[in-house]
Structure 1
Amino acid sequence: MIYFCPTPIGNLEDITLRTLRVLRESDIIFAEDTRVTLKLLNHYDIKKKLYSYQKFNESEVSEDIIKYNEDGLNICLVTDAGMPGISDPGEVLVKKLIEENIDFRVLPGPNAALTALVGSGLNTENFYFKGFTSPKSSARKKELEAIKDLKATIIFYEAPHRVLDFLRDLLEIFGDREISISRELTKIYEETIRGKISEILQGNLKVKGEFVIICHGKEDEEIKLDIEDLLREKILKGISKSQAVKEIVKEYNLSKNYIYKESLKLDV
């Protein structure tokens, strides 16, 4: 069997009994960083063969894993922290296994996104996981523009050396929304800060550790105001109200009935 094993995101005690058993019973363990995984295995006195499985060699090593599996070996895939395949290597192997009709198991366990989401105080009923955005500001802003109108809570990951630039871009594109920032989750210096984006930027945010940013979704009132502005802007440029409706529906992939009703409220 091939197992995808979540590993602790900080505190080494956050690992399931099942995962420990599977790791002990495995023949080979493939790891994102063998040095990081070795610390975990040593902590639980697990001695196994370790091989590298990174985003740079996923396709090649996935074929090796399949061959080991065909030889009757039990294989585990782990990443440095959290769930394999979520902003970490693993997705390529899953797709190959499905394509070749090879059975596998994904074990439940630690995940930074859900841990931070529950502690954020923001809506957990509907949420969108974005993960890492582009390290370049221009590309990042385009990514943010594409999701700024989502009503769902949005989850981001960010590295410490980019988090302030990310927050500045988030403020520019999303406006001053409520957010929650968690860092060093499950570790000694775990910290969660909640408030408006501008407030957090003006505060003394410690830029150490990996960050999870939970962002409030867009309110219906915000969308309504934006639609009115967009309609008015187009109509003032000389096009008809009906044409303005058509263009906005197409450009923003919105309901035609909703945009039409909003257009009836305009005084232009």
Structure 2
Amino acid sequence: MSDAGILYLVPTPIGNIDDITERAKQVLASVDLIAAEDTRHSQTLLRHLGIERKLVSIHEHNEQQKVAWVLEQLQQGHNIALISDAGTPLISDPGFIVVRECRAKGFNVTALPGACALTVALSASGLATDRFCFEGFLPAKSGQRRKTLQSLLNEPRTMIFYESPHRIVASLEDLAAEFGNERQMVMGRELTKQFETYLTGSIAEVIAQVNADSNQQRGEIVLLVAGCPNKSDDDAPSAEVIATLNVLREELPLKKAAALTAKIHGARKNTLYQWAIEQQ
């Protein structure tokens, strides 16, 4: 498709507008069309850069319907830049369907490097960076959120989540309930902006800092949680704890038995429950 257009994936600043790259500015100024998550938000950025281009809205609610239009524009030889409100397109933002279909039809897709909140937070966190997993936004409801966290209890890699300010306290409390108060974490807030902050320590310590300062419950938030440490034979419950658990399991579901055993012996119920699961 030598005469076809190119789809460019262009990162935009996550806060500090000066983080836009020279290449990103050149591409935005040269393409025929810009597909934006929120055209009003993106118009402000383009106005600051002195760029005037036609903006078309592509967001999570209309992406499926817009695919045919994108393919048609590329077929006609028009170059398109896809941008999100902030950061790298497709990272917890729309664009996956468009990119998938463009690839399937043989169109050229070019991604530019640039700002991304998860990599900014990870590099500054002090947590392990050699291996990590990005989980996006946690579920909005506590029940589903805790199920998701339970599935990650033994994840050895550093875990990264995005979170909304109005849910941050509840999500931190669910993290403590599932991972324990002592698991190490970092909370990055308003990254690259004037009021950027990093809160570090155990989950309990971060909760205390957030509760003590209401400003920490505002803005864009990234949560980073240390992976589960390598297990050893020393991590197994004591014989006394195992004996209590076995007695209670005869009369109760495993989860309830583990919770009561943990309460009796001062152990962590999630750790005990997971250990019991692994023994089955």
TM-score (norm 2): 0.81
Question: Cα–Cα, structure 1 residues 225 and 36, in superposed 2: closer, same or farther, change >3 Å?
Answer: same
Is 1:184 aligned to 2:190, yes or no?
yes
CA positional deviation for 1:222: 7.5
Q: Separation in 2 of the partners of 1:232 and 1:83? A: 49
RMSD in angstroms over aligned alpha carbons?
Answer: 2.4
Describe the superposition over 1:72-103 as per-residue Cα deviations: whole angstroms up to 9, x where unpaired.
Answer: 00101000000111100011111111222221
Do the aligned residues in 2 keep the contact of 1:149 with 1:223 (CA within 8 Å)?
Answer: no
Q: Separation in 2 of the partners of 1:224 and 1:184? A: 40
State the partner residue of 1:256: none
Q: Which of 214, 223, 229 is the matching residue for 1:213?
A: 223
Superposition pairs of residues 3-152 of structure 1, within 5 angstroms: 3-152=8-157
Q: Could you list the runs of 4 or more consecutive aligned residues of structure 1 that deviate by over 4 angstroms after TM superposition?
A: 226-229, 231-238
CA positional deviation for 1:12: 0.6
- SS where residue 217 of structure 2 aligns? coil
One-letter code aligned to 2:130 = E
- SS where residue 187 of structure 1 aligns? coil
Q: Where does the alignment leave 5 or more consecutive residues of structure 1 unmatched? A: 239-247, 253-258, 264-268
Do the aligned residues in 2 keep the contact of 1:3 with 1:77 (CA within 8 Å)?
Answer: yes
One-letter code aligned to 2:198 = T
One-letter code aligned to 1:39 = T
One-letter code aligned to 2:208 = Q
Describe the superposition over 1:39-75 as per-residue Cα deviations: whole angstroms up to 9, x where unpaired.
Answer: 1100110000001000000111122111100000010
Q: Separation in 2 of the partners of 1:222 and 1:86? A: 36
Q: Separation in 1 of the partners of 2:124 and 2:88? A: 19
Describe the superposition over 1:219-266 as per-residue Cα deviations: whole angstroms up to 9, x where unpaired.
Answer: 11389726889x95787658xxxxxxxxx99x66xxxxxx7xxx9xxx
- SS where residue 125 of structure 1 aligns? coil
Q: Separation in 1 of the partners of 2:234 and 2:168? A: 30
Is 1:202 aligned to 2:212, yes or no?
no
- SS where residue 162 of structure 1 aligns? helix
Give aligned-pair identity as a percent: 37
TM-score (norm 1): 0.84
Q: Where does the alignment leave 5 or more consecutive residues of structure 2 unmatched? A: 1-5, 251-273
